[in-house]
Amino acid sequence: MRSMLLAALCVALPLSAAHAADPIEILPDAKAATGEITEIDIDKMAFLTPEVKIKSGQIVRWTNKEAVAHNVHFRQGPAKTVKGAMGPMLNVNEAYAVKFIEPGTYNYICTPHSAVMKGKVIVE
């Protein structure tokens, strides 16, 4: 009985620790997000505020203001392995929001327009 309990703990603890260690939290309803929010508009093939500095625990919300679809993709850095780190394609007036938990530098791109659309969130 003890060996079965020990085996179960050996499996469960690393899984819960891995989940707790996510440096960001993707918010499922970006428009309904509340708290300290930094807004970044997407327009004219650009992230209009390409670099922001925030404190740990704050939220960044990207809103697409143009007819061309865009996304936010953390393809490198601390968030690259988080599920949802490649955000969905956003049509006009759609949004994507992320709560930043761990300090660090989070570089991101728009996947289909990565040559011209890059940004950075610095979390203190």
Which residues, listed in sequence order, are joined to residue 83 by a DSSP beta bridge? none
- Residue stretches of the annotated binding site: 70, 110, 113, 117
C-alpha dihedral, 95 to 96 to 100 to 103, nearest 10°: -100
| Tokens describing residue 26 | 């993707």
Residue 100 sits at the vertex; the CA angle it makes with 83 and 38, to the nearest 5 degrees, is 120
- Residue stretches of the annotated binding site for Cu cation: 70, 110, 113, 117
Coil/strand/helix, residue 116: coil
85 residue type, one letter? A
Separation between Cα atoms, residue 69 and residue 58, nearest integer Å:
25
Separation between Cα atoms, residue 48 and residue 63, nearest integer Å:
10
